[in-house]
Amino acid sequence: MSKPSYDTLQVGDTLPSLTLDPVNRTTLALFGGASNDHNPIHIDIDFARKAGMPDVFAHGMLSMAWLGRLLTQWVDQRQLRHFSVRFTGITHLGHRITCSGKVVEKFEAGGEQRVKLEIQTVNQYGDVKILGDAVVAL
Amino acid sequence: MIDKKHIGKVLPGFKAVAEAGQLRFFAKAIGETNPVYLDEAAARDAGHPGLPLPPTFLFSLELLNPSTAWRDEMGIRRDRILHGEQSFDYHRMAYAGEALQFDTRIADVYDKKGGALSFVIRETRVTNPRGEHVADLRSSLVHRNV
């Protein structure tokens, strides 16, 4: 994949998307340990039910980490200036998440040429789970 | 409801290190395939001094804060919270083995839905062992009060 260039990128251009395997309990257990998030609501169905949820569900930060992969497969992480998300829906077991992004602005700041991206995750039914934005220097 | 008197509260600062083994475990857990995040030789070939912390890993280090008393002091219950928003502003890269300093304050507390929900906004500044500013994190926690 050729490196994105500020001059050739246009507002509206999309990033190569990233689709993950459906969320399962093993992924949640591994991510809980690897990410230091030991909240039992993501790994212990008894705890989740007591908290009023039908089952365990994915960590928001798992999806944000996948969005991080979307960004760093597009540009070198050293070019990433800002990355923020809003968790708008819960990602449940069995959801197959696709991460996508598009250029919404080209601008100069801090003596650099930068682009702002809108990024999101959606499940296989088209439900948006995370909305966010990122700024990268090109 | 979470009391607004906690706005401005400064949490005890702490240091945390991302070990290379844990970064590889994290990479595996998120399905990472880019060798820069898995293999120190590949990272060095790409010009990094070691394995880089991927973009969200500073949040995982922030979770290592040994002080959890602040949550109890504020009346935050773990079975009632959801992560609402998360943001990172990056100033420089961080690498495996660096003892990073985390300094956190409660930036805001407010209610929505007639007090049914409280929002707790936390801001954290991360500094590397050379005193250089690595990143700023901002987290919004949603707390169900009823």
> Residue A50: inside a domain, yes or no?
yes
CA distances from residue A135 to A118, A122, A132, B114 in whole angstroms, order as listed: 9, 21, 11, 35
Interface membership of B29 toward A (CB under 8 Å): yes
Please report whether residue A48 resides in a domain: yes
Say if A13 falls within a structural domain.
no
Instruction: Please indicate, yes or no, whether residues B124 and B136 belong to a single structural domain of this protein.
Output: yes
The distance of B25 to chain A (nearest Cα, Å) reads 6
For chain B, the residue count is 146
pLDDT of residue A94: 98
Q: Residue A88: which CATH number? A: 3.10.129.10
Instruction: Output the average pLDDT for chain B.
Output: 95
Q: Measured between CB atoms, does A41 come within 8 Å of chain B?
A: yes
The answer to whether B86 contacts A64, with C-beta atoms less than 8 Å apart, is: yes
Residues B44 and B60 in one domain: no
**Do residue B9 and residue B58 come from a single domain?**
yes
Q: What is the pLDDT of residues B41-57, one digit of tens each?
A: 999 999 999 999 999 99
What pLDDT, on a 0 to 100 scale, did the predictor assign at position A2?
A: 66
Query: Is the Cβ of A49 closer than 8 Å to some Cβ of chain B?
Result: no
Mean pLDDT value across residues B63-84? 89
- Mark whether B59 and B122 lie in a shared domain: yes
Element (H, E) at B3: none
Instruction: Check residue A1 and give its pLDDT.
Output: 52
Q: Into how many domains does chain B fold? A: 2
| Whether residues B84 and B103 fall in one domain | yes
Which chain A residues have a beta carbon less than 8 Å from that of B52? 77
Average pLDDT over residues B97-111: 97
Examine residue A5 and state whether it is found in any structural domain, yes or no. Answer: no
pLDDT tens digits for chain A (138 residues)?
Answer: 568 999 999 999 999 999 999 999 999 999 999 999 999 999 999 999 998 999 999 999 999 999 999 999 999 999 999 999 999 999 999 999 999 999 999 999 999 999 999 999 999 999 999 999 999 999
Task: Report the residue of chain B nearest A27, measured CA to CA.
Answer: B29
CATH code at position B120: 3.10.129.10
- Beta carbons of A86 and B85 less than 8 Å apart: yes
In a shared domain, residues B47 and B74: no
Same domain, B61 and B94: yes
- Return the pLDDT at A128: 98
Task: Please give the tally of structural domains in chain A.
Answer: 1
For residue B65, which of B137, B142, B133 has the smallest C-alpha distance?
A: B137
Is there a domain that residue A9 lies in?
no
Asked if residue A94 belongs to a domain, the reply is yes
Give the residue-averaged pLDDT of B29-37.
97
Range of the domain at B26: 19-51
Are residues B96 and B66 both part of a single domain?
A: yes
Please tell me whether residues B31 and B61 are part of one structural domain: no
Least CB-CB distance to B86: which of A35, A72, A84? A84
DSSP A80: E
Chain B residues lying within 8 Å of A84, measured CB to CB: 85-88, 138
Q: In angstroms, rounded to a whole number, what is the distance separating the alpha carbons of residues A90 and A77?
A: 27
pLDDT of residue B79: 79
pLDDT at A3: 83
Q: Pairing between strand A98-109 and A18-19?
A: antiparallel
In this prediction the ipTM stands at 0.95
Q: By residue range, what is the domain housing residue A77?
A: 18-137
